[in-house]
Amino acid sequence: METNDKKIIIAIDGFSSSGKSTMAKELAKQIGYRYIDSGAMYRAVTLYALEHGMISDNGIVDAAALTAALDDIDIDFKPGADGQHTLLNGRDVESEIRTLRVSSNVSPVAVIPAVRHALVAKQQAFGKGRGIVMDGRDIGTTVFPDAELKIYVNAPAETRARRRWLELREKGDTETTYEQVLENVMSRDHIDMTREESPLRRADDAVDLDNSDMTIAQQNEWLLNQFRKAAGM
């Protein structure tokens, strides 16, 4: 484990299925920082909305009802043998929030201003002690605009969709097709970039990473080197 007395905040932003969570988790493990998956928080809220009938069959979110319920939604994280698990009101929902059902509804939930405000406040609270690696869509621009290290990850939609599809197959999902995943990825890209509240964009001082042709080991080493520079090691 690499150590340094100076604790910094590391913000990793990028499109869905760009591999940012994989590298963020590994970096946090290597340097002894806490990892927070901001996307999992939006997925957990989406799961709550689905379970409480706040999203119609055609994907329309009852924003008023969800906004009123935000105080009743508690999200936290706990370590597990296979990595970090997301807790929704104390219940482990890590597997449930990774389904295509949640993926297909998370973007409409994430554009609701009250949802974003509530989760940004929670994310900022997680980072008060610094020594944190957080990934998402607006971490370097909205949540931690003064983060010492900002990374912007990108890869073509087709590459990202194939990664996500293979992940689903490895987890036993043999019904979801690559075409369905690609459609979902492209739809989320559009919503993320065009929403009024904290749209996905590259922070002016972010370091770019196109990891299309990189192995996981290569991107992990690249990110570790970026951390060393930012932390003055």
pLDDT at 218: 94
Over residues 121-145, the pLDDT tens digits come to 999 999 998 999 999 989 999 999 9
Burial tier of 6 (Cβ tally within 10 Å: 0-12, 13-18, 19+): exposed
pLDDT at 89: 97
pLDDT at 129: 87
pLDDT at 16: 83
Over residues 25-84, the pLDDT tens digits come to 999 999 999 999 999 999 999 999 999 999 999 999 999 999 999 999 999 998 877 778
135 contacts 38 by C-beta, under 8 angstroms: yes
Regarding pTM above 0.75, the answer is yes
Rounded to the nearest integer, the mean pLDDT of the chain is: 91
